[in-house]
Amino acid sequence: MKKKLITAIAVAAMAVSLAACSSTKGGGDASGAAASGDCNVGISMPTRSLERWINDGEQLQKQLKDAGCTVDLQYADNKTDQQISQIQNQVAGGAKILVIAAVDGSTLGPVLDEAKAQNATVIAYDRLINGSKNVDYYATFDNYKVGQLQGQFIEDQLGLKTGAGPFNLEPFAGSPDDNNAKFFFSGAWDVLQPYVQSGKLVVPSGKAPASDADWASIGIQGWASDKAQAEMDNRLSSFYTGGKKVNVVLSPNDSLAIGIEASLKSAGYTAGADYPIITGQDADKANVKAILDGTQAMTVWKDTRALGDRVFQMIQSIKNGQQPETNDTTTYNNGVKVVPAYLLTPEVVTKDTVQSKLIDSGFLKASDVGL
Ligand code: BGC
């Protein structure tokens, strides 16, 4: 009799705690995960073909494992279907927190519905996930600022503010399915387009989007180096005849810059006075070497360790039943809601600051870049 009573009390207590759990979960309320005390995390990264995603995934995985969490880290080969089925497996494996850098930010709605059905908290990592109410938080760098730094670098280096020009510019944009790419482009184009309009920047290929909104017309699918190289080959062979030279290339990231640099090399450009200014982003090793040997002018460095730390802190807060800290609640509207975001600050790195910013901070080893 006594035993039965104790069992009944235990069952009732459990029911109360489960009810509390389900009534507090969802819609960004983190207290559910805390109530379960669960730290089962699924991390979904887009590809291993870029250094940054390998570092991002492995660092976060280590931090979480060291903190006693169960972690499943997956890479999707830049394939949407693969990413969806990897996330489905994580949900089936009981993931309570999902950290997702989307391959295509518009395709994850249905799988996030499945995740929410088991009260998982969803953090969009670096790239926003669009068209779903089930995105709780977003951690990224200030993506508009990344492009703005590239545009301002070009403006400064060419002396555009003081009336220099005209210069031949070839602009590129990132992958049309990546929500970040339009922010990168508009940050840069808002600086550069006035000079295109005034004739101080000329785009011989004609590939100058009429407005920020037309950026995808020059987007390179999948951020692929070989596609950027082929595009640059076409522009050079069709529009740079009779000794015409390209003076500046707006490249939104390092993987595109690598392809563009290969194209320029095969067209006979060598580092030195008439080598174009080329921008980048990520501080990949090959690009930092290019900066040191004079075939790339700059990269926008995003210290991915800081992004990993920020997401780790978000997960700690969620585990503890607190709201993660955010610092931007207006910019990132995913079409259904404005996702509360934490934005980190990107920085320019040039030949003069490779040592002080990248090596001294331990982001890269001197031997990685031939120093
Ligand atoms: C990231 C960049 C990266 C690009 C290609 C973007 O979403 O923010 O850092 O270069 O994807 O992977």
Of all protein residues, the one whose alpha carbon is nearest to atom 10 of ligand 1 is 253
Nearest atom, ligand 1, residue 140 CA: 8
pLDDT band per the 50, 70, 90 thresholds, residue 17: very low
Distance CA 148, CA 251 (A): 12
Distance CA 306, CA 344 (A): 8
pLDDT score recorded for residue 330: 96
Nearest atom, ligand 1, residue 127 CA: 7
Count of other CB atoms within 10 angstroms of residue 34? 16
Eight-class DSSP state of 129: P
What is the domain class of 143-302+350-369 according to CATH? alpha beta
Identify the burial level of 2 via C-beta atoms within 10 angstroms of its C-beta, where 0-12 means exposed, 13-18 middle and 19 or more buried: exposed
Q: How far is the CA of 105 from the centre of ligand 1 (A)?
A: 13
Tens of pLDDT along 61-120?
999 999 999 999 999 999 999 999 999 999 999 999 999 999 999 999 999 999 999 999
Nearest atom, ligand 1, residue 53 CA: 12
Residues of the chain with CATH 3.40.50.2300: 23-135+304-340, 143-302+350-369
Distance CA 154, CA 253 (A): 14
Of all protein residues, the one whose alpha carbon is nearest to atom 6 of ligand 1 is 180
pLDDT band per the 50, 70, 90 thresholds, residue 273: confident
Q: Residues 183-193: what's their mean pLDDT? A: 98
Give the residue ranges of DSSP H helices in the chain. 2-24, 31-36, 51-66, 80-92, 109-117, 143-158, 179-198, 225-239, 254-266, 285-293, 304-319
3-state secondary structure of 29: strand
Pocket test residue of 45, 52, 221, 349 for ligand 1, highest count of atoms within 8 A of CB:
52
Pocket of ligand 1 (CB under 6 A): 50, 52, 126-127, 178, 180, 223, 253, 281-282
For the entire predicted model, the pTM comes to 0.89
Q: How far is the CA of 241 from the centre of ligand 1 (A)?
A: 33
Q: Which two tokens stand for residue 291?
A: 């900066």
Q: Residues 127-143: what's their mean pLDDT? A: 98
pLDDT band per the 50, 70, 90 thresholds, residue 38: confident
Question: Is domain 23-135+304-340 classified as CATH 3.40.50.2300?
Answer: yes
The distance from CA 287 to its chain's CA centroid, rounded to whole angstroms, is 17
Residue 15 has pLDDT above 70, yes or no: no
pLDDT band per the 50, 70, 90 thresholds, residue 34: very low
Nearest atom, ligand 1, residue 143 CA: 8
Per-residue b or e along 194-222, where b marks 16 or more CB atoms closer than 10 Å to that residue's CB: ebbeeebbebbbebbbeebeebbebbbeb
